[in-house]
Structure 1
């Protein structure tokens, strides 16, 4: 019996009590069951009686007893006790708990997937770096966490589109082109231009692709360098992210908003909503009506469009594509965008509480040998994503970024991330998967098969450590659903670390394979089912984090 099965059983008991006239309440849509912190409180607990007591107009313990009476006859349930003010503590029969191992193995890669967010169309925008240089440390966190959240949303039933907004319009692109041209001519970039060895690399790449470029009229050269450099730099960003296992479904060009008239259409739409006004030759959006600190300029007095105008057009474009939830993942220096984005939604006639969600990620720094790294050989004044991966590897970096709440500043200690020891979290979890894979290989070498589902006897998994492991495995779908709903990928990582520890304790206490010339027993085979179930969950969890599950280490 899985936690989901038990939750369904509790809900049936509530509905039966309502149908029998014992409770005068509207049954809830779902019931939450959790693993109690203290083992003596049983395998699972629920506070459903406390939730229903007030609407039922009855004491919580009385409601709990009505539910418990109908829950106790459920097959697989050994005991139902009432604790404290009205908690229901449930203890399962060993066979009912052990069945979870078979279900997990049979589900395989699908185990953990759920429908908690089914029906939601989510646009998840993250990284969105300017295509004017390498991805740097400021982008690393969202490259990892954003991709993990996309995987979690998908696993929880949402229709999610991962989107990268390419900021390829505006003055910074002209400076970019002028900087590449200057390097191609052996000159220094203009004031405010782009520095770093990568600009030299781009200049050489552009000259190789367009050997005629310096023959163009001077006023056309910078534009040509800009376009060729833009294509090369964007392609490199795409390669870098894919090698970091960060995939985007859509690469949305800011230019298309301007070229297709999207910005003008957006301003017209917002004007129809009554929130656009003209003042001193400029056009403004009255965002102060919706919590912004000042009204925002859409069109300057010289007739040029602002970045904010493109932001408005981009929001309306996303909504026009049918997304009902727009998630923006921004850096710690973008707090000011929160109210602006919410104001855009409100001015467009939407409810910002339901359509706009802004996640802010705090800064990351890299430490090696006790010293903070601040410079890159290639980018000059920043540490790049590739620098970090070269130092520690994709698995270690992705896991380290995913396992910490984005609300806190993060220090990546390269010495720890490259250490093969239990105090390195990614090693600890990956080693658990490799250890189980080794056990399963040894079993095959000995000619021991776990057998088919019909021969599996779940009641044999009655040891305390087996119960602990089965309980932990049963929590995985709930962890996935909660992580997706709260946008907290670190919950998956912390769960995997706890699961790895639970498995190691099981393995130390329960012999999986027979000793010497001993004949394999049904208990050995049942424990192989449990080992395989644990391996499946570890692999599935690591996949959600974009981290490999090695079979050997």
Structure 2
């Protein structure tokens, strides 16, 4: 249990006890304890925590909320606790002021847990699969992949810290229409490389990227005209064999440069090879959720409230991408036994969500076990103007271009500054500026500043000591209390981010923690003449550095010692 949970638990126990006591004395006619909130007041003058129980009890008790609040306060027993004072405010809020000494406990916790601070058992070891990026291996990764990569990787880190058993997964689309289109495009470019571009027409809907051209030209240099007159299918197979896994390896390298390392690379082709897709279609048929029409097999999506049914197997016997997707998610939720599967998709896949959840329901799988996070597009800007082309290549900006221009830390931080479902402008100039306006610089500078303080005092012979040898109760300045409260919030913020599936809560937290630290450092001199106070403050500085480092690690961002 975290310090935050301990102290809010104390407030709840005292409040519940007062409600029961007032009922037993006949002072209130309330048969049950309401589901009231325990919140931190925005105005700190009111106290550390506030409870709205009195307002929720008014109807049942048939009394004014403020009267109920006064009765509850008179029945509260908080002797020998960290609760220092309880008062009534406004229409009936009950405010609790705590002894500042309670929050100094967090320094001992951080000292003991070090880089594990923030970890909880909230998830109870439940198995969660987080699948993200999963870009088609037909070309370079783009901005959508860049945002999805940062979101997915950080979310997986958060869930893992919150006590879930997490698997990070990339779904490799190495079968189906996009691979056929790649093969046709490569075949055309190969023939053009040998015969000239005017001699061979390139398919209008083919992949026009330079990467396809280069792969085909390299194939031509290696094999010459050996494949020029072979059957088309043999040529395409040879080109895919020579190209596809180079693209996949390039993806792995690019994502590794981005700080992303997957536990599983799951290949769609595996589902085709072992017959899982057709077995899944057969199961849907056995359950009565398919029908045949004009030689095709259709899924009865309309039985689940959707507007139209969907093809699973075409009349030519080829399975659809939808059928493969159903089999893939059945593999995750049934064959591999994940409690929850989380997918991060672009917002353009919105229409696919309800269909896939309906298919899960048809297979007897609880649809809520499949969670889809839809992310909106990012608008890159420089000098207030939209940027679409790379300075270096003059072409559409890829993940590699972005990392080359602004670096991994800025990319991962900025992509996680907003909720996935929000549009936002990514200011390229701000991302590389060394000023407090740049949020990632602001947070990293706080860590570097902390390291500088510790080193400076170490050179004076003053080192960070263990908590049991310090007078931590000397830390009573409001700025010191505020900073320790921020430190204590970290495990709770991890839990809240895990529940909301929202990494932006952690970027926001790091900025608030950095602000609290800068405020403390401006108000409280660490290198002061009062030795016991200086040692306690140095411990607080050190603990803050540890928590900033832990939070940045969750985001996959470095915590520099010098800037």
TM-score (norm 1): 0.91
CA distances 1:397-428 after superposition (whole Å, capped 9, x unpaired) = 11000011222222211111110001111111
Pair 1:533 & 2:543 matched:
yes
Q: Distance in 1 between matches of 2:223 and 2:62?
A: 80
CA contact under 8 A between 2:73 and 2:86: conserved in structure 1?
no
Residue in structure 1 matched with residue 320 of structure 2 by the alignment: 306
1:199 aligns with 2:212: yes
| Corresponding residue for residue 222 of structure 1 | 236
Q: Map of 1:271-420 to 2, 5 A cutoff?
A: 271-320=285-334, 321-352=336-367, 354-376=368-390, 382-420=396-434
Root mean square deviation of aligned Cα: 2.8
32 and 162 in structure 1: CA distance in 2 versus 1, 3 angstrom threshold: farther
Post-superposition shift, 1:308?
Answer: 1.0
Report the secondary structure of 1:475's partner residue: helix
- 1:352-405 superposed Cα distances (whole Å, 9 cap, x missing partner): 2x2122211111122234443323589986321111111111101110000112
Q: For the residues of structure 2 that align with 1:226 and 1:51, how far apart are their CA atoms?
A: 66
- Runs (5+) with no aligned partner, structure 2: 25-29
Q: What is the deviation of 1:211? A: 8.1
Cα distance change, pair 45–215 in 1 and its aligned pair in 2 (3 A): same
- Aligned match of 2:559: 549
State the match for 2:47 in structure 1: 42
Q: State the match for 2:463 in structure 1.
A: 449
Residues 383 and 429 of structure 2 are in contact (CA less than 8 Å); yes or no, is this contact kept in structure 1? Answer: yes
Q: Deviations over 1:27-59 (max 9, x none)?
A: 97xx86433210111122344565677788987
Distance 1:54 1:212, change over 3 A: farther
How much does 1:164 deviate?
1.4
Q: Alignment partner of 1:400: what SS?
A: helix
CA distance in 2, matches of 1:228, 1:88: 70
Cα deviations by residue, 1:166-191 (Å, 9 ceiling, x for unpaired): 11112321231343344445155543
Q: List runs of 5+ in structure 1 lacking aligned partners.
A: none
* SS of aligned partner of 2:39: coil
Question: Structure 1 residues 406 and 214 mapped into 2: Cα distance closer, same or farther (>3 Å)?
Answer: same
The offset of 1:195, in angstroms, is: 2.1
1:115 maps onto 2:116 in alignment: no
C-alpha contact (below 8 Å) 1:10/1:71 kept by paired residues: no
Using a 3 Å threshold, how does the CA distance of structure 1 residues 6 and 315 change in structure 2: closer, same or farther?
Answer: same
Cα pair 1:137 1:382 within 8 Å, conserved: no
Aligned partners of 1:64 and 1:87 also within 8 Å: no
Q: Check conservation: 2:34, 2:53, Cα contact below 8 A.
A: no
CA separation of 1:378/1:422 partners in 2, compared to 1, >3 Å: closer, same or farther? closer
Q: Hey, what's the Cα distance between the residues in 2 that align with 1:24 and 1:84?
A: 25
The Cα of 1:339 is off from its aligned counterpart by 1.2
Which has the higher mean CA deviation after the structures are superposed, 19-28 or 193-202?
19-28
Contact map agreement 1:281 1:300 (CA 8 A) in 2:
yes
What's the offset of the Cα at 1:242? 1.4
The CA deviation at 1:70 is: 4.4
Instruction: Say whether the 8 Å CA contact 2:183–2:237 is kept in structure 1.
Output: yes
Change (3 A) 1:202 1:184: same
Which stretch has the larger CA shift, 41-50 or 93-102?
Answer: 41-50
1:305 and 1:513 map into 2 onto residues whose CA distance is 71
Structure 2 length-normalised TM: 0.89
Contact 1:13 1:71 (8 Å CA) reproduced = yes
8 Å CA contact retained: 2:183, 2:236: yes
**Alpha carbons of 1:51 and 1:534: their partners in 2 closer, same or farther (altered >3 Å)?**
farther
Aligned mates of 1:493, 1:478 — CA distance in 2:
14
Say whether 1:77 aligns with 2:92: no
Report the CA distance shift for 1:281/1:235 in structure 2 as closer, same or farther (over 3 A): same
1:247 to 243, 256, 261: 261
Shift of 1:495: 1.6
* Matched pairs, number: 546
* 2:27 equivalent in structure 1: none
1:3 aligns with 2:4: yes
